[in-house]
Every structure is written in C-alpha cells, then in structure tokens.
Structure 1
Amino acid sequence: MFPLWVLLLLQWSTTRVLSCPSLCTCTSAQATEEPRSVLCNDPELLTVPTNVPVNTVKLRLEKTQISRLPRAAFYNLSELRFLWLTYSALRSVHPSSFVNLKTLRELRLDGNQLTAFPWEGLRDMPRLQILDLHNNRLSSLPAHAALSLANITFLDLSSNSVPSNPCPVVADLGIPDCCVMDMFCRLVLLPAELLDLWFPLPGQQQTTVQRRVLGLHDNPWQCDCQISMVASLSVSLGSPVVLVDPVLMCVRSVGQGGALLMPVQWSRCMRPSVQPAATRVVSPLGSNVILRCEATGYPTPTLSWVKAAAHTDCCQQEIPPDADQLPKSLPSFMQGSPRVGVRWSVISLNGLSYKDAGEYRCQAKNMAGISEAPIKLRVLGSSRANRPQKKPPLPPPKQPPTKSNRRPNQVPPLDSIRVLQETLQNSTALNKTLIYPDMSKITPDRKTKRRKMKLLNKSKTDVKQSNNSTLQRAMQVA
C-alpha cells in the first residue's frame, strides 16, 4: 500500500498536467484527454501564464496586453512546437526567453511593437523553420543575424515601416512622412551577410539547395545593390529564394530627391575585377618579395589571399608533400580602400624558402560575384648571403729583377746589394791582378817606373771612389 503523501503527490501532478490556465482555453487531442493546445486571447492577460500544461504542443497568446517576455518564459514547455504571440503589446524580448525550446518549429510574433529582436536567441531553437516578424517596428537587421538564420525556411519582415513616434502619413503612399526623411526609423537595409546566406556564390552551395520564402514587401528599402539583387535573383529560374510579394518599394536617398520606385529598377552593382601588380615573380632564395593586387567593384569588394598550388620545378631540392596544406588562406599584410569601389591588398614574404614557391591567388568578393587573379612565385638558386665567398687568387712569387725584366730606374733589393759588394771586391782583386803585374822579372828604368807608379796610384783612387759611390747609392735606396 502506497503512503498517503505519495498518492497526494501523484494526484497533484496529474491535476497540474491536465489543468488549464485561467483566461485560457485548452484543447485535448482526439485519442487522449491530455490538453495539447492552449489558446489565451483575453485582453486582460498581462503576463505569460506560468501554469501551462507541460505537454502542450501549441501555445497561442493573441490580442493580449503582454508587453515583455522574461528570461526562460517557456522553460517548462519542452514539447512545444508552435508558439504564437500575435497582435499584442509586446515591446521587448529577452535573449534567453526561448531557452529549452528544443522542438519548436514555428515562432510568430507579428502584429506587435518590437523595435529589436534578439537574433542570438534563435540558437536555443535549433529546429525552428518559420519566423514571422511582420507588422512590427524593427529598425535594423544586423549582420550577425545571418549566423542564426541558417535553418529558417520562412522569414517574414514585411510592414516594418511604422516608427515608434506617430507622424503624418504621406498621401497616396501609405507610409509615414518621417520614415521617408529619416533613414533610421524603419527597416531599409539588408546586410550583405544575409545575401551570402540566401544566394550563395558558385562553389559555396550545398549539395541540396534549401529554398526559402521571404516577406520583404511594404518596406521603403534603400535603393542599393543588395535590394536590387534580391529582386532580380528571386525571379530567376531555379532561384533559392521566393518572395511573398515580388513588388518591392525602393526609395532613393534624400540627396537624390527621395523618390519612390516600384518595382526596384535602380542599381549599380558591379562584379569585382582583380588586377595584380605582376603575374609571375622570380626571386632568389632568402630574398624578400611583396605581392600586391587591386580590385574594383560595387559594393566595395573584400580581398583575401589563398595559396592554391605549389611548384615542383621551382628549385633543385624537392618540396616535402606535407609542407603546405593547400589551398590555405593567408592573412593580408596590409589592406586599404582609397575610395568607394576600390580596394588594394599587399602581402609580404620575407626570407623566401622553397616552401614559399607556388601559386598565390588574390580573391575579390562582393555580393555581385567573386573574381580572382593568380600570381606565380618561383624561388631559384641560393642567396648571396648563403653563397660561399670566393678567395682572391694568390699573387705569383716575386723574383729578383734581372737585366731582362728590370724596368728603368728600378732599384735592386737588399739581397742584390750583398752580391754587388762581393762582385766589387772581386773586381778590385781582378784589377790588382791586371794592374799589378809581377815586376820582379822586369827591370825598367827609373822614368818608366815613376810613370807606372803615378798611373797605379791614380787607378787605385778611381776604383775606390767608384766602389764607394756605387755602395752609397745602393745603401740609400735600400
């Protein structure tokens, strides 16, 4: 037998599951008595009911005075698939209002006074496919919204041109005058990130094209490339996007007169064109190289660099197969836009190695298309810094000058002076031998003897003076 408190707990939980909130109507499924659909449409309802049955599949809060959705407003409704909060006084939604709605497929918030929507809150609803925000007061559609709209197949943003402050309505146009003059009081711009999501470029499409239905009508969109592309591509054959109403209104900027165009017929979209500074670059190993390219287009394209291929014939040694995981994106060294529609980018490669050789592609992208230009870089030889320096050849050994190779006025070296001294001494002895013959065997007379003695003395003096002058000259030169 169960204890009494267990029976009371079971009875209370069953009553809680099957009970219906006040000011609401609950409808059960045909096969069971459990309520699966809850409708709350009393104008006196000010907040989201807290006692909604946990097994509710569809919750409709219509024509109420609910002005805000707090944090985790539907946390207990983990089986909820349809949530309608329409034509009420809703002004704000907390980013965490939809926590634990893992099975929600449809969210309708049309007919409220929302000036902003927490797009990041869509991550708490991974199975959401239908999002209806039409007839609100949304003033902008941020670029980061594209991160949370990947699974949305129906998005209605129509009729968001009513400002928060009342203002006169322009006759025959049906929109407030302040919306025509003030570009920030209504939804007028589509970010390029959304167009990348809705109209993927060739090569970026998935295997199965996911078709989407968009409601963009009854908004005075600014005449630019984005809205023109949506209007033109949506009517093309096989388009991934279908518009609820193909007629869109486009208003020029105030400086262009503020005229309304219907349908969209003003556009200056231009696919980007890429012009590299050089298509082939050859540089030695270890040098520095700068690769530059410039792109033109409207809207102003964005530039990125990709290394697409490696050269196998660039050098003497082979490049390892795992040196580069190609293709790979390269960060740009410097990038700038001197004027609207023009952008340039530069990458710097310092100390080239064999791995740097290959094909670099400068890619330009805008919403009108994508273009690229290849630049082939070749690395050859070795750098001067790594090249061994050649030693100058050794001069031939110096030989003492001879009569044949001695130049005029050339002074003999010191070794020749010694030889000269010995030669002079030998010549003196030779002169003595020649000048002093053996006189013992000759008996000249006295006159002849005197004459010979004078000649002998004069000869000695001349030889001695000649030897001394030659020796002094050689010593001075040495």
Structure 2
Amino acid sequence: MSALPVNIPPDTVKLRLEKTLISRVPRAAFYNLSELWFLWLTYNSITSVHPSSFVNLKALRELHLDGNLLTTFPWEGLRDMPRLQTLGLNNNRLSSLPAHAALFLPNITYLDLSSNRLTILPAELLDLWFPLPELQEGPVQRKILGLHDNPWLCDCQISMLTSLSKSLGSPVVLMDQLLMCSKSVGRSGMLLTQAELTRCMRPSVQPAATRVISPLGSNVILRCDASGYPTPTLTWIKTSAYAVIQESPRVGVRWSIISLNGLSYEDAGEYRCQARNMAGISEALIKLKVMGVSRLTRFPKKKPKKTLVKSSPKYRKPNQTSASTNTLTEKESPFITSLFTALKNRVQKA
C-alpha cells in the first residue's frame, strides 16, 4: 500500500495503518471521517504531512505518527483537532522544535518526542509547561513528555525542565529522566544529571514600586531589579520614546531604570518590566497614575452681575406734595423773607 485508502466508512471511530509504503499525507486526507477518535499512522514511510491534512477531525483524541521519516511537522495543523490530547512523534527525524509550536499544544497531555534529532528546547515551551502562578487558570493539568534519546545541547533550558519536573506537584512528568548531553562542550555523551548546570535559575523580577502616583508635569524614575542565571536582560514595554539605562553590578543581577520627564496625561498607564534568560521569562507590572487623569478640574461658575434698571417715577395723588416742593433755593429765600416782614408790619398797624 503506497497511498491512503479511499471509501473508508464515514462512521469509523478507529483507523490504523501500519508498516506500509505510504510516503505522504495529502490535504484533507480524512475530511469525511468526522467521527474519528483514534488515528494510527505508525511505522510507515511518511516524509511529509500537509498542514491541512487533519481538517474536520474535530472529534480526534489520539494521533500517532511515530516510526516514520518526518523531518518537520506542521504544528499549526493541530488547531483542526481541538480535542486532541495524545500526540506521538517519536522515532522520526525531527531536528528542531519551533517556538510557535507552543501556541498549538495547550490541550496536549501526552507528547512523545523521543528518539529524534532535537538539540534545543524553546523557552516558550517551558513557559507553557511551567506557567507562572499568576498566569494559571484553574487546576494544573499534568502532562507526560517523552524527550529522551535526543542529542540535547545541555543548556539552562533543558536543565531547568528536568529540575522542575522533579519538584513536588510538578505539572510535567518525563517518561525517562536520563537525558544525554551529546553536544555540550566537553560533555559529549554525558548524562544531564551529571552536568554542572545547577546554577541555571529562572529570572525573578522586583520593581522598586508597583504603584506610582505623581502630579502633572513632574519627573518620575521607574526602577526594576532582576536576578537569575544566566544574567537576564530587561525590557520595558510602553517605553519606546524614553531612554533605558541598564546596569549589571554583578553576575546574575541586573537593574534598569527609565526616566519620565514632564509627565503628561499620555504617560499614565501600565509599564511592564520583563526579564529573560535561557531559563525562562518573568515580568512585573508598575502602574503609573498622573493626578488629574481620572477627573477634570472644574472652576466655579461666575455669578452674572446685576444690572440696575431705572424705574419710572411713581404716580402721586394731587394732594400729595413731594419733599422737593418744601425745599427753597438760595435765590428764593431772601425774597420770601422780605415779603413776610411787610405783611407782618401791616397787620400790626391795623
């Protein structure tokens, strides 16, 4: 048999093709098998798998491709199998494990990559298998990994994985912990447990403050310290417009600061200090609040000035006299006095 068979019953739940001359898995090869739960394509002569080979396998739980001639695997094809939990790729010729594979492996609880040609383990997979406590959602689901019989470069990545897998309550269980260092300088063929890699330490980040409140127009310095081995590098997120100063006072320790001069409203927000080394990635969050961002200053409203309106003169009755009629001017006063004196004299003579 050199090609996948056709006319397989659509209600098939298990399909096993083993020890054939099948060399490739074409696009949409199992499209009509939507009820398939288990698919074994083991110990054939498969050299290539199309990224869309597993379209419509929404019910598939197990996929075994071990014992073939694969040099690469289309990891993005796993998104067509949302219920897949078991993936067997052991005894192939895989030479690299790409970082983007971590995007498609969250639901995989059994992954066998043993007996390949892998040398480096991406840091992204370490973050997937050993997430930070604050990033864990729900209970930790244990995963079984087969990584033995590969020519690993014994660096901090693979050393970190083996040490974490031995810890109490580890989410990862290794099928075989006797990993070999086949490309480490001076350690060819040595067991990983014998290599002197105990100094490898995932970064630990400590900010000077996690919450900063400062008034508008002021100057602020944010500081972040990190420790780990190898000495981690620090990266600030949301600081493209500002200078970053990094210092390493000693091996395994690094600190970094950013200076924010003349704070504006746009400077407020969250700043992440991210530390990275070969053993993993860690980060800390700093929240900066600029006074006046959340509420606007309101000035008191000015009261309108009162305008005086001249009222019309009040109506007076005829028998009323105004106070002004009893007031004599300076010119009228002498004349009235003389007239009054003349009348008085006439009265006395009479």
TM-score for the superposition, normalised by structure 1: 0.53
Shift of 1:123: 0.2
Distance 1:192 1:335, change over 3 A: farther
- Mapped partners of 1:360, 1:119: distance in 2: 33
Task: State the identity %.
Answer: 70
User: Secondary structure, in 3 states, of the residue corresponding to 2:134?
Assistant: coil
Shift of 1:77: 0.8
Contact 1:139 1:187 in 2 (8 A): yes
In the alignment, what sits opposite 1:193? 124
Residues 250-289 of structure 1: pairs in structure 2 closer than 5 A:
250-253=181-184, 256-264=185-193, 265-267=195-197, 268-272=199-203, 274=205, 285-289=216-220
- In terms of fraction of residues, the more helix-rich structure is 1
| Structure 2 residue 149 is the aligned partner of structure 1 residue 238 | no
Distance 1:257 1:263, change over 3 A: closer
User: Secondary structure, in 3 states, of the residue corresponding to 2:40?
Assistant: strand
Contact 2:212 2:286 in 1 (8 A): no
In the alignment, what sits opposite 1:47? 3
Distance 1:49 1:288, change over 3 A: same
In the alignment, what sits opposite 1:352? 263
Residue 113 (structure 2) aligned to one of 139, 144, 157: 157
Distance 1:297 1:332, change over 3 A: farther
- Mapped partners of 1:124, 1:281: distance in 2: 45
Shift of 1:290: 4.8
- Mapped partners of 1:140, 1:343: distance in 2: 31
| Structure 2 residue 128 is the aligned partner of structure 1 residue 221 | no
Residues 175-214 of structure 1: pairs in structure 2 closer than 5 A:
186-214=117-145
Larger-Rg structure: 1
In the alignment, what sits opposite 1:426? none
- Mapped partners of 2:286, 2:137: distance in 1: 26
- Mapped partners of 1:231, 1:87: distance in 2: 29
Contact 1:213 1:241 in 2 (8 A): yes
In the alignment, what sits opposite 2:75? 119
| Structure 2 residue 238 is the aligned partner of structure 1 residue 331 | yes
- Mapped partners of 1:274, 1:62: distance in 2: 51
| Structure 2 residue 78 is the aligned partner of structure 1 residue 148 | no
- Mapped partners of 2:210, 2:133: distance in 1: 25
| Structure 2 residue 15 is the aligned partner of structure 1 residue 59 | yes
RMSD, aligned α-carbons: 3.5
Q: Deviations over 1:248-298 (max 9, x none)?
A: 112353xx2242222434323124355768999897632454535453433
| Structure 2 residue 66 is the aligned partner of structure 1 residue 135 | no
Residues 4-19 of structure 1: pairs in structure 2 closer than 5 A:
none
- Mapped partners of 1:350, 1:50: distance in 2: 70
- Mapped partners of 1:112, 1:92: distance in 2: 10
Q: How many residues align?
A: 285
